[in-house]
Amino acid sequence: SGGGGSGSFTWLLKKRSSKAPQRSGPSGQEAEDEGDEEEAGAAALSTAQSSSTDEQSSSSSSSSSSSRKKRADALARLRSVFLAAITHRRRRRQLGSCVTGTIFGRRRGRVHVALQTDPRSAPVLLVEMAAYSTGALVREMSSGLVRLALECEKLTPQARAGEKRRPLLEEPTWRAYCNGLKCGYAVHRECGADEWRVLGAVEQVSVGAGVLPDDGAAGGAGEGDLMYMRAKFERVVGSRDSEAFYMMNPDGSGGPELSIYLLRV
């Protein structure tokens, strides 16, 4: 029985020794495979990150100029809306007996007339003469005195319906006359980005006229040079339906060379 016991013990040791390498072998191979997979995944991730970084840098460089332009336009629009709201609330209180008037437009384009309480404020009146060019107005002024008359209807559909009459400077449409001759219609405008660009360029000019540098932003280069004339105007209120603005000469001699009349008839 002792020989049989020692033989069985020897057989058990051999069985255990033969099973031990079989268990350790597969686990080591799996660890090596897992390490190779992790290295391959890390390399693929780094390649994807580098390619996405290159794409982002190229796209950001191409869109940086357009984004700056969009931000500038958005700020200009926000400024115009904000100042227009303030002007709408304080227009009647701020408007005094002396205003700054600016007439501008392209030589073959439409005339714009802007009246401001000071050079940095939003215009209390901005009208666009739809059928009268800036060049024609300049030729008329070179020949002598100019009288611009803007007329609107007193009995509008809103007035007939019993609604409250709006202030004279806020009328939407006008009939335009230059020295007694009808020259189409004038339309009330809000001060947009293009108008603010012109008013900002002549902000330091108190009295003068000339041609502004053209950056092509307004897209009207085919209509000629961008011309302007700027001066102080004396405001005279006749009634709630009539106001007049007379250009003041710097030397104080002679009569006004340009007068603007607003009438509700």
pLDDT, tens digit (0-9, with 9 covering 90-100), for 143-195: 888 999 999 998 766 666 667 788 999 999 999 999 999 999 999 999 999 99
pLDDT given for residue 65 in this prediction = 73
pLDDT given for residue 184 in this prediction = 92
Task: Compute the radius of gyration of the chain from its Cα atoms.
Answer: 40
Within 10 A of 120 (CB to CB), how many other CB atoms are there? Answer: 11
pLDDT given for residue 95 in this prediction = 75
Supply φ then ψ for residue 207, to 5 degrees: -140, 130
pTM confidence score: 0.63
Q: State which amino acid sits at residue 265.
A: V
Residue 49: C-alpha distances to residues 60, 62, 75, 128 (Å): 16, 20, 35, 55
pLDDT given for residue 195 in this prediction = 93
Q: What is the mean pLDDT of each run of 10 residues along the chain (265 residues)?
A: 48 52 45 50 51 52 72 75 57 73 94 93 93 90 91 76 81 94 93 93 93 69 86 94 92 79 95
3-state DSSP of 23-42: HHHHHHHHHHHHHHHHHHHH
DSSP symbol at 67: H
Strand extents, DSSP E, the chain: 98-106, 110-116, 125-133, 146-152, 173-178, 181-188, 208-212, 226-239, 242-247, 258-264
Start-end of H helices in 130-214: 134-143, 157-160, 193-201
Between β-strands 173-178 and 242-247, what pairing exists: parallel, antiparallel or unpaired?
Answer: unpaired
Q: Would you call 62 exposed, middle or buried from its count of C-beta atoms within 10 A (0-12, 13-18, 19+)? A: exposed
How open is the CA angle 92-97-100, to the nearest 5 degrees? 90
pLDDT given for residue 197 in this prediction = 93
